[in-house]
């Protein structure tokens, strides 16, 4: 398993997964999430929804990036930058688990 780490420590082999206790619903190909931790709702766009769905099972950061690059017209550098920013938000809201 490994210890929990912060989003700023994500490497290629870091394993990510969404929190199992997050309540969410998909509406018109976008997800709305309710965080039990802070009683807030979050609306996620289509790309964010795809990432959320990929995080249903443990996935390495490297594999996550590879899947996103295959599916979207984006450079690897931009994909990494945007995905790390998004993962930081999800982590700050306690919606994902990040493990070494």
pLDDT of residue 28: 84
> What's this model's pTM, rounded to 2 decimal places?
0.88
Nearest to 44 by CA among 100, 96, 80, 98: 96
Q: How many domains does the chain have?
A: 1
pLDDT of residue 53: 95
Q: Note whether residue 62 is domain-resident.
A: yes
* pLDDT one-digit tens code per residue, 67-97: 999 999 999 999 999 999 999 999 988 899 9
Could you tell me the residue range of the domain that residue 29 belongs to?
7-99
> Residue 72 belongs to a domain with what CATH number?
3.90.930.60
Cα–Cα distances (Å) from 20 to 4, 32, 58, 97, in that order, read 15, 15, 11, 9
Q: What is the rounded CA–CA span in Å between residue 65 and residue 86?
A: 12
């Amino acid at each position: 398993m490994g210890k929990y780490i912060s989003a700023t420590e994500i490497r290629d082999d870091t394993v990510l997964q969404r929190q199992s206790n997050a309540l969410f619903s998909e509406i018109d190909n976008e997800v709305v999430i309710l965080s039990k931790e802070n009683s807030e709702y979050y609306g996620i766009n289509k790309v964010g929804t795809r990432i959320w769905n990929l995080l249903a099972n443990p996935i390495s950061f490297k594999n996550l990036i590879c899947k996103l690059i295959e599916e979207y017209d984006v450079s690897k550098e931009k994909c990494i930058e945007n995905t790390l920013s998004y993962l930081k938000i999800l982590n700050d809201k306690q919606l994902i688990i990040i493990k070494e």
